[in-house]
Structure 1
Amino acid sequence: MRDKKISVIISTYNAEAWLEKVLWGYNAQTFRDFEMVIADDGSRPSTKALLDRMQAEVFYPIIHVWQEDEGFQKSRILNKAVERCAAEYIVMSDGDCVPRKDFLEVHAEYMEEGYFLSGGYFMLPMPISEAISREDIEAGRCFDVQWLKANGLKSSFKNNKLTSAGFKARLLNKVTPTGATWNGHNASGWKKDIVAVNGFDERMQYGGQDRELGERLMNYGIRGKQIRYSAICVHLDHARGYKTPESIAKNQAIRKHTRESKCIWTNFGIRKEA
């Protein structure tokens, strides 16, 4: 049997309720030629139990890549997940981002040699995040602005992410002032390019480790392509206890060095340099 066209990497840590909703979102995809690689940064056994149950209920294969819980080590588990990907093309997102049914179809349509794709997310408040059911995901209600407003969503320009399609979406992708960066919640690129820059810098914890990977890709000659109004996922709310001023400051210093030195390689990535 040939390899799947796309490998999807989803990061998670002890968030089974959100992860289940995300997996239902991928089960509703119009593009079906993919495998699911779960990058699990040390979750309890109940996450594996969820994945075992879901494997019997979804159409796509699930590969569970797990490591011991040693604090926030997302970069390390993502590198392990990249190595496990069987496809030549990788889509990365998070275990709190539910994809719209055309999410992977958009990534597959826009994928191009020499580029990575930069998507965004639509942030939902906690009450709506908790209220969304499997049926709401399968029917697409949780991506419908009118349904969301009926459940408490406020009006905002950001709602255009959910209502734009076709020419309008392409126009907004082009004119948005937001740069085409590698965003861990919604980005994709060629495995060979990610490996060529040695993946994520494992010194980095919360705060910009995904952007730093994108900066090395750009130093390597890979350009970013904006799809934030086309590839849509909704972000379920949660606390961020792992965010510290120390991790942010350390990561900013590493990113500053990457930008100023134009380096393409980290000695702290997939391959470890002595």
Structure 2
Amino acid sequence: MISVIFTTYNSIDWLEKVLWGFHHQTDKNFEIIIADDGSEEDTRIAIESFAQHSHLDIQHVWQPDDGFQKCKIMNKALKKATGDYLVFTDGDCIPRKDFVAVHREHAEPGFYLSGGYFKLPMTISEQITPSDIASGNAFDASWLLANGLKRTHKLSKLTAQGFKAKLMNSITPTRRTWNGHNASGRKADLVAVNGFDERMQYGGQDCELGYRLRHNGIKAKQIRYSAICVHLDHARGYVNEEMLANSRRIKKATLGQRLRFTEFGLNQH
């Protein structure tokens, strides 16, 4: 059983698009856990309304708003997960219809999977409809270009298939980090390192978890050209320099001391 976990915060339009992406997955043997970092009541209402029109098994895990506390709500969601394999993404990333299937296919004991995303501008982010998600238009390079996307080499993330995708996964210089928008691993491996470090807010909190996994013997496998999601644009007004400096300090300690376990993680719940 797979549990898909992603965060949200007062962003109903983006959340609903992400949920439609999971509604249309070819692999349907998974549950959804929405890790809600303090949204207002209208988000709960929207989730319950969506669930009435979908086969998805959805859990809504909420905590009161206390600023950006992604690590805390992710740990709470992780503890609620019933799957033995966990796929992580974000509430602003629409998954292609084979997203869950690709993670299941590439899952391997002793490894976590490192994926990426294709970033969309705000105009296209707003334009995408549920029918565009169902038809696959939202992931189609031709459709995106026709609707104002600028052509860049990054389009290969969307166009690579089969052998080409495998080749690109093997030769990309991008590091195989744990990326919160597209990563997966065994629940037991995440529990062994005590989940996310709740002292961290914005700034590499996902990568820091990946460092501890690797220090604990878990290797990383690159799937950024196989597991596809498109990232919807948004502002990041919650980020400040103090937050970033704190995250840099914790990451540096984790790397320098080759830490495998945090004392500030799952064990606090």
The TM-score, its normalising length taken from structure 1, stands at 0.97
State the alpha-carbon separation in 2 of the partners of residues 59 and 179 from structure 1.
Answer: 36
Match of 2:262 in 1: 266
How many pairs were matched up? 269
The alignment status of 1:163 with 2:167, answered yes or no, reads no
Query: Which of the numbers 1, 26, 29 marks the counterpart of 1:30?
Result: 26
Q: Secondary structure at the match of 2:185?
A: strand
2:241 match: 245
| Cα distance in structure 2, aligned partners of 1:87 and 1:110 | 16
1:37 is aligned with what amino acid? Answer: I
User: Which residue of the partner structure matches residue 175 of structure 1?
Assistant: 171
Matched, 1:106 2:102: yes
Partner of 1:87: 83
Q: Give the Å deviation of 1:165.
A: 0.5
Residue 227 of structure 1 corresponds to which residue in structure 2? 223
- Give runs of aligned pairs for residues 180-195 of structure 1, distance below 5 A: 180-195=176-191
Counterpart position of 2:112? 116
In the alignment, which of 73, 93, 98 is matched to residue 77 of structure 1?
73
Distance in 2 (CA, whole Å) between partners of 1:252 and 1:170 is: 33
Is there any run of 5+ residues in structure 1 with no aligned partner, and where? Answer: none
Displacement over 6 Å in runs of 4+? none
Equivalent residue for 2:14, pick from 15, 18, 43 = 18
Q: Match for 2:8: what amino acid?
A: T
Matched, 1:50 2:50: no
Cα deviations by residue, 1:79-127 (Å, 9 ceiling, x for unpaired): 0000000000000001000000001110000000000000000000000
Counterparts of 1:22 and 1:166, CA distance in 2: 25
SS across alignment from 1:104: helix
Paired residue for 1:202? 198
1:255 to 245, 251, 254: 251
Structure 2 stretches lacking a partner, 5+ long: none
- The Cα of 1:252 is off from its aligned counterpart by 0.8
2:176 maps to amino acid = A
Which of 126, 129, 134 in structure 2 is aligned with 1:133? 129
CA RMSD of aligned residues (A): 0.8
Task: Using the aligned pairs only, state the percent identity.
Answer: 57
Distance 2:190 2:144 in 1: 36
CA shift for structure 1 position 272: 3.4
